[in-house]
Structure 1
Amino acid sequence: MAFEHPLAVLQPGDLNRDRGDLLNSSTWRFLAQGDSWFSIGQLPPWATSNILYNIRLPDSAAAVSLASPGKTFAQMIDWEWEVKFATYLAGGNLAYQWDAILLSAGGNDLFDAILTMPNVADPAKAALRLLQDPGLVPVGTSVSRYLRPAGWQAFFAAIEGYFTTLVLKRDGTGSRSPGIPIFVHTYDCPQPRQAQAGPGVGPWLSRAYTSYQIPEGDWLPLTTYIIQQWAQFLGGINAALVARGIANPNIRPVNLIGTLNPAPVDSTGPVGDWENEIHPSPQGYAKLGIALEKQITFA
């Protein structure tokens, strides 16, 4: 099957202009929500790309994107804040009929939990803290020893709750698209390194690992383990939501692990598939777009 049709990426303002006709005339219509992997991840913005801009499909398709850099999953399902997302999805006469939701979510929640320090005053943030106090790291060889089991449990419980909120909105009163697939991608494994996204923006992982006194040789294995645990969690999300009483979650994980080549640990700028520590380069996003588009199916 040929993938010849670039995904037309629309902003909300486009719906009131001529570009809005692209949505109505497209065979597939997507509502996209997400973080920097769907928007921008580098300053200046023109130095990078995103996954959505690199998707090609077998038929005409358009996506209305509400993604923005730094957005957490928790923010995405805050309906008082995400008014357009709530309206386009389940706003009654103002809602659209979608074929699927494209979701890039969880990465910023994950980085927030990794960056949380032991002395954090906020009890909610403290509960989600993922890295173990240096003095409490058990003896062993597995990189999982650097993680707090209680933090993992609380983090995944929170993410499960966010998915629940999203699915209930998709299927609730005012929705014109109940039961549509929610395609959510994993992230690929970045090499923690001193590569900022702009002045004062990052790095993230290397800063946290340094603060927690984690040896540099364990940085990439630990990050890989975390990303793999995230993918494993997504693999079980439908069963978890069914256990909560949701009959048809229809969440479809898209596995992107292994798509990109890690950057050298001592590099400090754009190199290969990575523009900075946690954001792909245009070359990297092109690879991710190909990997994602092949997993968008409606069977």
Structure 2
Amino acid sequence: MANSKYEYVRLFEQPDNLLPQTWIVVRIDGRGFHKLSDKYGFEKPNDRRALDLMNAAAVSVMKDLPDLTIAYGVSDEYSFVFHPNCELFERRSAKLVTTIVSGFTAAYVYQWPKFFPDKPLQLSNLPTFDGRAVQYPNASILRDYMSWRQVDCHINNLYNTTFWSMVLIGGMTNVEAEKELQGTVSSDKNEILFSRFGINYNNEPEFFKKGSVVYRQYQLQEPEAVGTTTAHTQQDDEPISQLSRTQQEKIRKLRRKAQVVVEHVDIIKDDFWLRRPWLLSGKPGKIPVE
């Protein structure tokens, strides 16, 4: 780049590199999605089409960025996880966040007609997302973060299922239902659902109760084969940055070959992580034999 008298303005740019050897979570959220869901008539308490669209956009992001390890989504929120070994964009926060937010938004808008063919988007009501990057020092805390989001999914879904049953089936107003649910605990909501509407919350779809987990699928391992150390305390491997560029690119190619899957499973217990050791190790596993 040629020098000029105006180049001094670059001095105002501040570095935003994230700490090395930490897990990076980029969490995105829909902006004004309450208004958007009303505008396009999303079903209450859960619109399967809208959730499938969120998952489709997340899969697109995962395929585009092989450096991503796993993602978790619920409602209009998605968390994308980079392994501590990741050196993408020199770990610059703004680059990581904007790449994911823009990629997710583009995929969401592009695929909208597939899931809502009868409800074309309007320029005055386009879906948009914001995002932030948070760092976690070890795998244990990263797993606690993921568990927190899944617990939050359950809490919110139980509340919303009860609330909208009281409104849509029970004929109550929003204010009346909200007032009655104030101070209730999970057992109270389960009782309301079963006694008034014959709904057993345990039989509700796992999709809605557990949210969506997106990751690259390799051959599953039996927990015994991984060792006795739990996944919750498993140590991260040596930094990929210490590998040659050729080795790093080989790992990315292996990741691109893996199928990206969407599942609705428990990610709080150790079993999920023990059977998928590549999620915490940062190294690709073996491609499943078809």
Taking structure 2 as the reference length, what is the TM-score of the superposition? 0.29
Q: Select the structure of larger CA radius of gyration.
A: 2
Instruction: Pick the structure with more helix per residue.
Output: 2
- Using CA pairs under 8 Å that are at least 6 residues apart, name the structure with larger relative contact order, 1 or 2: 2
